Amino acid sequence: MHVNIYTDGASRGNPGPGGYGTVMHYTDPSGKLHVKELSQGFERTTNNRMELLGVIVALEALRRPCTIDLYSDSKYVVDAFNQHWVDGWLKRGWKNAKKEPVKNPDLWKRLLEAKRPHDVTFHWVKGHAGHPENERCDELATSAADGEGRIRDEGFEAGEGLF
């Protein structure tokens, strides 16, 4: 199964209210396109946490191993895999190249677990540049950040995003 996943995160202030948006595309063997959209808002969080959560919830929504092309405008997410930052963090016990603790370890660990059964290729797309799926993800993320029904980012409140 091949799935295209598009993600974005937003934060009104950093930290502040935030949200993520995800659009998933799957074309079945008969050629029919299936689209799934996911979003959620949070009371107080950061942009990077929302970028990560957009990827995580999309991967967690898949019910079987897939080949995935994942598109994000977040260099933080894309470069972590394409430039092998994550490999270094794991070797150094969740420390970055400066020997400082990696930020958002709760979400990075959750992302690695969600990614494990899949073959994921990460692609960076320029944000706010007219890419239709990226624009839709941005709309979902900002609407979630601004809307009703925001929830608590337990990891952020526990200090995971601060060190």
Degrees, nearest 5: CA angle 116-20-34:
70
121 touches 114 (CB < 8 A): no
Are 50 and 113 in contact by the 8 Å Cβ rule? The answer is no
8 SS3 class: strand
- Cβ-contact 21, 54 below 8 angstroms: yes
Query: Is 8 flagged in the annotation as binding?
Result: yes
Question: Catalytic residues, which ones?
Answer: 8-9, 51, 73, 128, 138
Cβ atoms within 10 Å, residue 101: 12
**73 annotated to a ligand binding site:** yes
Going by C-alpha positions, the residue among 111, 142, 103, 121 that lies closest to residue 16 is 142
Residue 106 is assigned to a ligand binding site: no
Annotated binding site: 8, 51, 73, 138
Annotated binding site for Mg(2+): 8, 51, 73, 138
